[in-house]
Amino acid sequence: MNAILSLGVEEEFLLVDPRTGEPVPRGPDVVRRAREQFGVEFDLELTAAQLETKTTVCHDLAEVRRQLLGARFIAAQSARQLGCLLLAVAVPPIGASKMPINSDDRYRQIADDYGRLAVEQVICGCHVHVSVPNREIAVQVCNHVRLWLPVLGMVTANSPFAHGRDTGYASWRSMVWSRWPVSGPPPWFSSAQHYDEVCDSLVATGAARDLKMIYWDVRPSSHLPTVEVRVADVAATVDEAVLLAAVTRALVATAVCDVRRGLVASNVPVELLRFAAWKAAREGLRGQAFDVMSGRLLPARLLMDRLVSRVRDQLVAVGDLRLVQNILSVVDRCGDGATRQRKAFGVARSLHNVVDQLAAEIMAEPTEYPCAMFRTTAGLAHPVGGHPQSAC
């Protein structure tokens, strides 16, 4: 490709009480504090215990990383000033599954339409937008990307605990998310018209209230000239979020090249993709994964290597290959987010230790989080070494 595709990253975060570790409905207060004190506009999420941050349009990973660090720092500081902790975790490790819905009219209507699904939607993901030339290409790109969604979902698997117990999954968020009528891997679409016809039918029948509720793990954005990949848990660390962003952009760029060459993506049945997604959520990067192309179980880490090999040319073209390899080596050494949470729990058999580690990791450098070293002051966790300043 002659042009570097721009990208943007959205991260959802959880707010918890520093003493109990349970979710607290302070999202609107933290968003207001960030606006008034830092002049930064964050977004509310469906439940009041969450908030969302967004980068601007970025053209390189150094800028992505700077913006992610800045947003996490401001959100964490705003939360701290209001007596709560910001966690980059995809499901609350401690506490009830239900939270009040935010007062936004659309969110209230969703709660009315979908009942308990809405109030139990206390989950946090990471969404990566990548620019594409037009909507027709966007739909075809999604056909190519859907084959790799289970692997992308393993990159930031970060929700092994829920309601005070180990779920046995690396990404319990994926299981919670899969309950919605329109979620998970999308169908294969022959054209943008085909895509629009299916979406219009889903909205007309109430499966989705509007196009924003087309919750497939990859989709053409309803309001931006991008493909949006939505499969991942929110990453415990900035570097893991950068890894996800890098591989996702390279995968989309590779797919754009394939579409322009006239290569049609394999129409793998949704049932196989759903099983692959379940297997990825169950075992994460350190287990077995289902390869949708061969129909075999393979080591998950091998599939990750195959994905990097698949997009290698695009990673080299934009200078991201070495960064991706370096971050993967750290994940290999220290484990993914789910693995590190379980290690933290094992230290004292306490989920409060997990909460402290999550609070410490939210802005930690790679040299910090392998050791899971942190200190606490007045019940609030701080990463060793303070706020990192380095960029990629």
Inter-residue contact 125 to 233 (CB < 8 Å): yes
Domain assignment of residue 332, yes or no:
yes
Give the Cβ contact number of residue 98 at 10 Å. Answer: 15
Number of domains the chain contains: 1
> Which residues fall within 8 angstroms of residue 186, CB to CB, at 6 or more apart?
142, 146, 216, 217, 218, 219, 270
Domain assignment of residue 149, yes or no:
yes
The model's confidence at residue 377, banded by pLDDT at 50, 70 and 90, is very low
Mean pLDDT within 209-229: 94
SS3 string, 39-101, reads CCCCEECCECCEEEEECCCECCHHHHHHHHHHHHHHHHHHHHHCCCEEECCCCCCCCCCCCCE
Domain assignment of residue 384, yes or no:
no
User: What's the pLDDT score for residue 365?
Assistant: 55
Distance CA 144, CA 155 (A): 18
Domain assignment of residue 369, yes or no:
yes
User: What's the pLDDT score for residue 114?
Assistant: 92
Q: Is the pLDDT of residue 376 over 60?
A: no
Specify the 3-state DSSP secondary structure of 286.
helix
**pLDDT tens-place string over residues 172-207:** 999 999 999 999 999 999 999 999 999 999 999 999
The DSSP output letter for 338 is: H
Q: Is the pLDDT of residue 317 over 50?
A: yes
Domain assignment of residue 232, yes or no:
yes
- The two beta strands, 85-87 and 125-131, are unpaired
The model's confidence at residue 379, banded by pLDDT at 50, 70 and 90, is very low
Domain assignment of residue 71, yes or no:
yes
Helices (H) and strands (E) in the chain, counts: 15, 15
Average pLDDT, the chain: 91
CATH number for the domain including 222?
3.30.590.20
Domain span holding position 103? 7-379
Q: Is the pLDDT of residue 336 over 70?
A: yes
Give the Cβ contact number of residue 359 at 10 Å. Answer: 27
Domain assignment of residue 390, yes or no:
no
**pLDDT tens-place string over residues 251-309:** 999 999 999 999 999 999 999 999 999 999 999 999 999 999 999 999 999 999 999 99
pTM greater than the 0.95 cutoff:
no
User: What's the pLDDT score for residue 103?
Assistant: 86
Q: Is the pLDDT of residue 72 over 90?
A: yes
Of 361, 364, 356, the residue nearest 337 (C-alpha)? 361
Q: Is the pLDDT of residue 2 over 60?
A: no
Distance CA 366, CA 356 (A): 17
Domain assignment of residue 204, yes or no:
yes
Specify the 3-state DSSP secondary structure of 18.
coil
The model's confidence at residue 224, banded by pLDDT at 50, 70 and 90, is confident
Tell me what percent of the residues of the chain surpass a pLDDT of 90: 87
Report the chain's C-alpha Rg in angstroms. Answer: 20
**pLDDT tens-place string over residues 120-159:** 899 999 999 999 999 999 999 999 999 999 999 999 999 9
